[in-house]
Structure 1
Amino acid sequence: MSDAPTPPATEPSTAESPRTARRPSERTFHGDTFTDDYEWLRRKDDPEVVAHLEAQNAWTLARQEHLAPLRQTLFDEIKGRTLETDLSVPSRDGAWWYYARTVEGQQYPIHARYPAAGPDDWTPRVLEPGTPVPGEQVLLDQNAEADGHGFFALGSLDVSDDGARLLHAADTAGDERYTLRVRDLATGADLQDEVRDTAPGALFAPDGEHIFYLTVDEAWRPWRVWRHRLGTPASDDVLVFEEPDERYWVGVGLSRSKKYLQIELGSKVTSESWLLEADDPTGEFRIVWPRREGVEYTVEHAVLPPALVDLPPAQEAPAETAASTGSARDVLLILHNNDALNFELVWSPVPAPGTTVGPEAATVVVPHDAGVRLEGVSASERYLVLYYRREAISRSAVLSLVEPDQSGEPAASGPRSAWAFQEISFGQPLESVGAGVGVWEQPNLKAGYTSFVTPQSLYLYDVASGERTLLKQQPVLGGYDPDDYDQRREWAVAEDGTRIPVSLVWRKDAVRFERSAGAAGSTTGAPDEPAPLLLYGYGAYEFSIDPYFSVPRLSLLDRGVVFAVAHVRGGGEMGRAWYDDGKLAAKHNTFTDYVACGRHLVDSGWTASDRLVADGGSAGGLLVGAATNLAPELFAGVLAGVPFVDALTSMLDPTLPLTVTEWDEWGDPLHDPEVYRYMRSYSPYENVPDDASHYPRILATTSFNDTRVLYVEPAKWVARLQAAGAPAMLKIEMSAGHGGVSGRYSAWEQVAFEHAWVLDVLGLADH
């Protein structure tokens, strides 16, 4: 650090941004020295740092004071379109139907249940919002639990198999450390059992006496699985599993059949699963497939008819794992990428205690397809559901395990079309469909559907006939009509000639088109004149941005804003190769793809540079930050939420949360000079020019207790932007985490703040 006198951290002013003191420190790696003027902002416990952040916040709020009426209007519109007192569709488990409900004026949901009428009661009741539910038992009222806390998030919620106890774990700081408790549902009182600093995902073993939970290391990585026995102190808990390799995250779960407890661990490129008979919770877990570097796999237990698995004698499932349904077989369905880039689905015998199985024992069910990315499989007593992606659209297909003439009994033998999955589609060019099998014994199937213009909808799906019965559609008050809006897929061309999908949605009467309507009433061509446009992007971790409905987005669309999603490389929309082409040494493609999408929308007449706002959060914040450095003239504004903009600094420090686990995504600049130089070339913070006065307006939002992207990254970025003359602002929540504030009303206020800023940038603040 420099020995020069340290100036005050801030100079309060509403006319210009608070001046962030320059306190140079040098960072030298691989022969390169970078002078960092703002690394001192990392000292979270320093009162001067807190005062500076609060000053930045106050200045931002003062600069946005003229938008207060618009923020209130936007909040009122979101609230006015939302049925505040509402209920979810109940789902049955055991002798109860479980659901969540919300109450007008309350921030959080209430978790409740009512008793099933009998063993054949598999059709959920139609519950009327605001009407008392006969036989209701409240399990957990999050509003009561959150009382007295500025932040509240639920990390675990599970009911014991006998329905007698509730496990719940909450975070009241935003740092993703959860305190686990157990409630006696007969009395409503919490037991003495309490475990602090757990990770999300705790659960009961089927015996209801043992709880499995996770804890994190100093880098916030879930790495240990513990077993707790009710009525004993947490100090007596048993360490079941520990993963010392810092690249791997650990999870624990229960198969849908409730026959196996499962430990799953994975890095960004390698995974491993362990099993234990759930009726022996104190036993020893065993490996399914030993890990092999670069091989990812997931495991789903299934009981299949012999017509699907016809095992040769040498591969007979062990007698102790034979299913109770006649000659049906216990197997594992394994989705893996061993010599299968887009994954393939196989079945494998269940390893007997003391043994393992490997890929050589597997039989292919759904082979690899270069045009189809397999993403998951779910099994129940009667159905298998396959989840996959084709042509940048997520899809689901179902396979019945019962013969039509057997009235719901599992098939035992006889002719059938083996592994003939039936795709579920609602016939829209842009849609998201997800089928759910529910609990193991559930006889029916549910299918969820949404699009950019269709509210979330849940259907009962008849596998035999393909008929759908609507159970519930997300209510949108105020006379919403999906026919007032349109959606479309376009394709931009990247620097290397790759075609990049772009999804768009707009209000029909706000965006006019010269050309006549196309097929099915959709429009063709570009708008008559450039429209204001918000371009969202993410592009990391193989995460796909699928079509989804948003109530807050309607306030933008109704003011004439077009919303677009750039499905850039680094995401998973077009398969595993799409992801690989946007990570590590190919990461630059993510940024140039986004710029290409923006330029396509300008060149094709959808928008203009002075009417285009970039939008991205977390890794998407890195995306829009890097894109701004590449093409600042392309955008009128940049909205960056919890942005990962000081990526190189973070990846150089293995003591920071997530760093080592992230090396498989970004590269390891600490030990590899080529990775260092590559990340140095695109990390937004290091590449802000000395003169950024020509940059677009920038709003960065963050949370003080974020453990994933530390607040210091956007704080440093904004400080450097401001010093270079860019019109940048920082809004920080002092009691929140990576997901922002908690509570639905607080979340609406946050969205209203961001959308008011976007509308102001687009010249629509008076609309």
Structure 2
Amino acid sequence: MKTNTIYLFLITTVLFMACSKEKKQAEKKQVSIKAPVAKKIPEKLEAHGDTRVDDYFWMRLSDAQKNAETPDTQTQDVLDYLVAENTYKDSVMKHTQGIQEKLYNEIVGRIKKDDASVPYNDNGYSYYTRYEKGMDYALYCRKKLDDKEAKEGIILNGPKLAKGHSYFAVGTRTISTNNTLLAYSVDTVSRRRYTIYFKNLVSGELLPDVLENTSGNIVWANDNKTVFYASKDSVTLRQNKIYKHVLGTKQSEDVLVFDEKDETYYCFVFKSRSSKYIMIGSSQTLSTEYRYVSADTPNDDWKVIQPREKDLEYSVDHYKDHFYIRTNLDARNFRLVKTPITATTKENWVDVIPHREDVLLQSFVVFKEHLVLQERVNGLRTLRTMKWNGDNDHYIEFNDPAYASYLGDNLDYDTNILRYVYTSLTTPSSTIDYNMDSKEKVILKEQEVLDPNFSKDNYVSERVYATAKDGVKIPISIVYKKGIEKSSTTPLLLYSYGSYGYSSEPTFSSNRLSLLDRGFVYAIAHIRGGQEMGRHWYEDGKLLKKKNTFTDFIDCGEFLVEKGYTSPKHMYAMGGSAGGLLMGAVLNMKPELWNGVVAAVPFVDVVSTMMDETIPLTTFEFDEWGNPKNKEYYEYMKSYSPYDNVEAKEYPNIMITTGYWDSQVQYWEPAKWIAKLRELKTDDNMLIMDCDMKTGHGGASGRFERYKRTALNYAFMMDLEGIKE
């Protein structure tokens, strides 16, 4: 027996060693999978006597190439490269599949599956959306207000319409004045080119009218048969024409009512809150122009409110005998003026809310008896209400140190109830009805977090200020789980955007709980280029001052290290789109400050994109970034453009995401960038890219699919922190 036991022991040992060897060889094989190496075809790009050599210029494809039934050689090479990057990413992240799945289930598990929106009232009906369990898309519904026994009417069935599409998004839904016709728009490619359909809500049948290549927005005239919409340039995707369509006619017969010839502008159409006027707006970064026609007589000639001027911005709504206008005329932070409908040019404008140096007027809403102002004070959004005669002028009170408030669905014009949404870093989004006379608040719904362990009291938020290199104080909003010790080993994610005057708001995210509950600190840097601290905040982070955006972010990161929140070995940075440009810039400028960076749909090839006016968004963004045909702007852009400034040096771990059908930041920018980074970087840190071959700028459609990428991004950072569960 003893001999047999020894024999069995030896056999078992040999088998175990063989299995271990095979396992190690398999692991070694997985680790040794080589990253894709993109071929190099030097392309000389010359401007202002300067030559840039772009070895990866060949990755750019036209829409025609992408849509061709049979790919040409170049298209196939691009597709092969993108697939290779995805395969490499899958290989590198394979060992995190378990935590990715766990994170995804956590995130989705916190979301109520049979949820419904708070109903809003419009023209005798109550409208809402709802989800049923197992559905990725919403049901769009309504009920008649004056009928207590009214049954639900499903005006649009999202799950049914989405069937068979890898991507599906509903754009605008607009009801005719007589409540019998629905106009709605759909995008099934993710290029933000919408097709408009019409549905008879009485019979449930679709009308034969179909309008293609639109922005997705539809406006009804009051005759219930005429609609206005914006079409897009087939190459640049610029909204450049407004058409009038009469139901029962072909799109080819539609009347062109406005053609925006200036390639630096785009146009759009909307209806005044009073429903009296249809308005066409033309806009670029620093200039706007509006024209109007009566919604009762849509065939009349259009009248211009105030002709466009350089650096003159304004927006318009209607109340009684006046147009009310938010404008920057003699008002850096904007003011509210009014002008008679019979005399609309700027010399007739009279102050309603004068300009203030310390308050930014962001928007306004008119009601029959009240005026509501969305303002920004000390970097935070506020809501101010008053009677038209100025009585009961007050701000709605908010208590969190960092929060955000938004105007909700306020389609009912004749009411004293203001609907708004409130949220903070620790407070789930709440929809609130506010009585503008009595100041009474009614919370209609608070976002439900399906986690028995969740309580907003378990988390702490802070508002601190970093000092920029030029002495300016930069706000930082911070949230973390109560009891977490902040030290040099604490993982911290720093997020920002910092462009277009878009402010990064301190809002709640149930997704983020997966980070906070695992010990991460989450921080938002309110850097210049946004508009948190007023209009000057935006102006000091654009054009020839754009680098302030990047240095502010770095200064915020260094501040958090200095104050003991984290250290460079445990700090992560994240941003998307123009925030991806921010990521690319700080990677080049201060790579040693971050352990990992997530750059989502990153705008990184700034010079080449802004030189190419056939690319969507280029022409009307010259006032944001500058026109590189001007040598001064060319040289300044080139000095910070992430793609042009990749160097042979060590970079931190980097995760890049993009979408093949992205119309905002074309996929080839991140694809070229990762190829150049991989060629030049001198470290062995992770460098991976996730290219979704079915989607565009906003990622996956549907309710839950998008969270797979969120789980991937979180797993990337957690893996670097050694967090396995």
* TM-score higher than 0.5: yes
Name 2:699's counterpart in structure 1: 740
State whether structure 2 residue 596 is matched by structure 1 residue 637: yes
Aligned residue in 1 for 2:623: 664
Deviation at 1:284, TM superposition (A): 1.4
User: Partners in 2 of 1:673 and 1:729 — Cα distance?
Assistant: 35
- Scaled by the length of structure 2, the TM-score of the pair is 0.92
Instruction: Give the whole-Å Cα distance in 2 for the aligned partners of 1:115 and 1:400.
Output: 30
- Separation (CA, whole Å) in 1 of partners of 2:668 and 2:135: 32
Is 1:628 aligned with 2:628? Answer: no
SS of the residue aligned with 2:411?
coil
Superposed counterparts of 1:607-756, under 5 Å: 607-670=566-629, 672-689=630-647, 691-692=648-649, 694-725=650-681, 727-756=686-715
**Counterpart amino acid of 1:344?**
R
**Distance in structure 1 (CA, Å) of the matches to 2:221 and 2:391:** 32
Which residue, 14, 18, 21 being the options, matches 2:39?
A: 21
- The 2-side partners of 1:13 and 1:184 are apart by 59
Distance in 1 between residues matched to 2:636 and 2:367, nearest whole Å? 47
Q: What number of residue pairs does the alignment pair up?
A: 679
Aligned to 2:277: 260
Determine the structure 2 residue equivalent to 1:506: 480
The equivalences for 1:203-242 within 5 A come to 203-217=219-233, 218-242=235-259
C-alpha contact 1:598 1:634 (8 A) present in aligned 2: yes
CA contact (8 A) 1:438 1:445 kept: no
Task: Report the AA paired with residue 85 of structure 1.
Answer: D
Superposition pairs of residues 451-600 of structure 1, within 5 angstroms: 451-479=424-452, 480-509=454-483, 511-512=484-485, 527-600=486-559
Mapped partners of 2:301, 2:578: distance in 1: 38
Q: 1:144, CA displacement in angstroms?
A: 0.9
Task: Report if the CA contact (8 A) 2:420-2:432 is conserved.
Answer: yes
Structure 1 window deviating more from structure 2 (739-748 vs 614-623): it is 739-748
Corresponding position: 1:296 with 2:316: no
Shift of 1:222: 0.6
Q: Distance in 1 between matches of 2:363 and 2:386?
A: 14
Moved more, 614-623 or 74-83: 74-83
In structure 1, C-alpha distance between the alignment counterparts of 2:411 and 2:297, rounded to whole Å: 24
Residues 699 and 728 in structure 1, CA contact (< 8 A), matched pair in contact too: yes
For residues 384 and 449 of structure 1, the distance between their equivalents in structure 2, rounded to whole angstroms, comes to 19
CA deviation after TM superposition for structure 1 residue 200, in Å:
2.2
Taking the aligned partners of 1:376 and 1:698, their CA distance within structure 2 comes to: 38
Which residue pairs with 1:516 in the alignment?
Answer: none
1:357 CA drift (Å): 2.2
- C-alpha distance after superposition, 1:220-252 (max 9, x if no partner): 111111111011111111101111001111110
Please state how far the C-alpha of 1:371 moved relative to its aligned partner: 0.7
Letter in 2 for 1:347: K
Structure 1, unmatched stretches of 5+, are 1-11, 122-132, 304-329, 402-415, 513-526
Q: Residue in 1 aligned with 2:158?
A: 142
Residue range with higher mean Cα deviation, 39-48 or 709-718: 39-48
TM-score normalised to the size of structure 1? 0.87
Post-superposition offset of 1:76: 0.9
Check the 8 A contact 1:424/1:433 in 2, yes or no: no
Between 39-48 and 471-480, the greater mean CA deviation after superposition: 39-48
On the 8 A contact 2:392/2:437 being kept in 1, the answer is no
1:77 matched to 2:64: no
Q: Report the residue type matching 2:331 in the other structure.
A: A
Q: Who is 1:315 aligned against? A: none
Q: Would you say 1:33 and 2:20 are equivalent positions?
A: no
Specify the code of the residue in structure 1 equivalent to 2:105.
D
Cα separation, 2, equivalents of 1:372 and 1:420 = 20
Unaligned ranges ≥5, structure 2: 1-29, 66-74
Distance in 1, Cα, partners of 2:637 & 2:420: 42
1:342 aligned residue: 333
**Cα displacement (A) at 1:539:** 0.5
Among 214, 228, 242, the alignment partner of 1:198 is 214
* C-alpha separation in 2, matches of 1:29 and 1:420: 60
Residue 308 (structure 2) pairs with residue 286 (structure 1): no
Q: Work out the CA distance in 2 between the residues paired with 1:762 and 1:30.
A: 46
Does the Cα contact within 8 Å between 1:425 and 1:433 map onto a contact in 2?
Answer: no
Contact 2:528 2:540 in 1 (8 A): yes
Decide which of 411, 414, 429 is 2:401's aligned counterpart.
429
Q: Secondary structure at the match of 1:170?
A: strand
Separation of aligned partners in 2, 1:755 and 1:382:
48
Cα distance per residue 1:283-326 (max 9 Å; x no partner): 111111111110100111113xxxxxxxxxxxxxxxxxxxxxxx
Of 163-172 and 720-729, deviating more is: 720-729
- Distance apart, 1:13 and its partner CA: 9.2
Tell me, what secondary structure is at the counterpart of 2:399?
coil
RMSD of Structure 2 on Structure 1 (CA):
1.5
- For the 8 Å contact 1:300–1:333, the answer to whether it is kept is yes
- The yes-or-no answer on 1:759 pairing with 2:724 is no
Q: CA deviation at 1:422?
A: 1.4
SS in 2 for 1:745: coil
> Judging changes above 3 Å, is the alpha-carbon distance between structure 1 residues 30 and 699 closer, same or farther for their aligned structure 2 residues?
same
Give distance in 2, aligned partners of 1:682 and 1:628: 11
Corresponding residue for residue 175 of structure 1: 191
Moved more, 600-609 or 462-471: 462-471
Question: Does the aligned pair in 2 maintain the 1:637–1:696 contact within 8 Å?
Answer: yes
Between stretches 640-649 and 473-482, larger displacement belongs to: 473-482
> 1:219/1:486 Cα in 2 relative to 1: closer, same or farther (>3 Å)?
same
Query: Which of 353, 360, 364 pairs up with 2:347?
Result: 360
The alpha-carbon deviation at position 16 of structure 1 amounts to 2.2
Q: Distance in 2 between matches of 1:302 and 1:556?
A: 47
The yes-or-no answer on 1:373 pairing with 2:373 is no
* Structure 1 residues 270-281: aligned runs within 5 Å: 270-281=287-298
Equivalent-residue separation in structure 1 for 2:255 and 2:229 (angstroms): 10
Question: How far off its partner does 1:443 sit?
Answer: 4.1
User: Does 1:444 pair with 2:417?
Assistant: yes
Give deviations 1:64-83, integer Å, cap 9, x for gaps: 11111111111111122111
Q: Quick one: distance in 2 between partners of 1:531 and 1:465?
A: 47
**CA shift digits 1:77-119 (9 cap, x unpaired):** 112211110111111111210000012211111100011126x
